[in-house]
Every structure is written in structure tokens, then in C-alpha cells.
Amino acid sequence: MIYTKDLAYAHPNGRLLQFPDLACEGGKALLITGASGTGKTTLLHLLAGLLRPASGDVRVGGLSLPQLKPAAMDNFRGKNIGLVFQASHFIASLSIKENLLLPSTLVKAPVSQERLLQLAEKLRIAGLLHKKPAHLSQGEQQRASIARALLQNPQVLLADEPTASLDDHNCEAVAQLLGEQAQQQNAALLVVTHDNRLKQLFRDHIQLT
């Protein structure tokens, strides 16, 4: 479960952004849309504890993220929050498997080979694990980045424009996969986007203005 209360953020030299309260339970999905500049990315970074709010609260599983010290926040994020972006940000010289395992190594929470293979099978990337990221299509890279985000079995899955660079077929497939996987793992899924195609695919929706 993730929820926010009276959340506001002041960009350095920028205006104060105030956000509507939101809540999403494990296994459920929430779509967050809004025109360019309304603060979608800022909100997602606040939800991930990558930015600290000027005021208000973000709670994940009852824990208040703004109260955590930076190192504790990094550790909590690594174990409890999965992130998916428009670009997959893989390290080019590492294989997909090595890229997937890297975050787990960093937070010293190793995952089993079995878990990795199981997830890779589900996301149809099992045959691609030994390849370098550049040898994967965009849709395959996006499925691999979803696998990376889910590997730690996070409480919350946050996706920032996960479908913006995908064609209609891959857009629907990726949205469906995100929803299915979050539901199966009982993670709260929050998707931030200006991709109107997603409005038809997610029932719960809030719009930033």
C-alpha cells in the first residue's frame, strides 16, 4: 500500500507543486496523467523517495519516506520499490542477466537463479539473458526492465512513461504485463504518463492539473 497526504514539492528556483492525495493498495493499479509540466515526473520521484517533499507525506507499507535518512531511503527503495522508465538505462557492457542482478547486489539482497529464471520466462526474455542490451528490441528491453523492477518482489512498482516509445501492439502488451505482474506479486502499480492509449487500459485514473 502506498499513499500520499498533502504532498508538495518546491523545485530549486521553481514554483511550488502541490499534488492531490493518492492511494494505491497492493495488487491494484493507478494511472496518473497530466499535461506536460504538471509535475508527473516530480510526483513519481517523490513516490520513489528520490526527491524530498517541501511538505506532506508519502507512506509505503506504513513507513514515512520523508522521515528516512538518505542511506536508509536508498536501501528501502532497493528492496521495496521497483522502477520502470521509458528508457531502460541498462549498462551496455553487461549482459541482460548481469544488469538484472545488479540492483540486488547493490542492496545486498541476493535473488535466487530460480526466481530470476521464473520471472524471465514470464516476461519472455529467458532466451535473451546472455545478450547485451543493444541486441534487444525496444519491447524486449522494456520487458527486461520490468523484470529488473520486479526481481526484489517490491511492495510498489512505479513506471514513468513506460510505453511512450512503443508501438500500439507493444504498448498494450507492456501495460498488460505491468498490470498482471503487479497483481500477481501483490505490488501497488502507479503509472505516470501522457500516453492517452493507457487511459483505456487502466480503470483507476487521476489527472494532474
Ligand X SMILES: Nc1ncnc2c1ncn2[C@@H]1O[C@H](COP(=O)(O)OP(=O)(O)OP(=O)(O)O)[C@@H](O)[C@H]1O
38 binds ligand X (CB under 6 A): yes
The Cα–Cα gap between 31 and 189 comes to: 8
Q: Give 15 or 203: the residue with its C-beta nearer to ligand X.
A: 15
62 binds ligand X (CB under 6 A): no
The Cα–Cα gap between 156 and 62 comes to: 13
Residue span binding ligand X (CB under 6 A) among the ranges 34-42, 78-86, 118-126, 168-176: 34-42
37 binds ligand X (CB under 6 A): yes
In the three-class reduction of DSSP (H, G, I as helix; E, B as strand; rest coil), residue 189 is classed as strand
Residue span binding ligand X (CB under 6 A) among the ranges 37-45, 61-69, 86-94, 101-109: 37-45
What DSSP string describes 120-170? Answer: HHHTT-GGGTTS-GGGS-HHHHHHHHHHHHHTT--SEEEEESTTTTS-HHH
Q: Shortest distance, CB of residue 31 to ligand X, whole angstroms?
A: 14
53 binds ligand X (CB under 6 A): no
In the three-class reduction of DSSP (H, G, I as helix; E, B as strand; rest coil), residue 202 is classed as coil
Binders of ligand X: how many residues, by CB under 6 A?
14
Q: Contact with ligand X (CB under 6 A): which of 29, 31, 40, 139?
A: 40
Please give the grid coordinates belonging to residue 92.
Answer: 551496455
165 binds ligand X (CB under 6 A): no
- Contacts with ligand X by CB under 6 A lie at 11-14, 17, 34, 36-42, 194
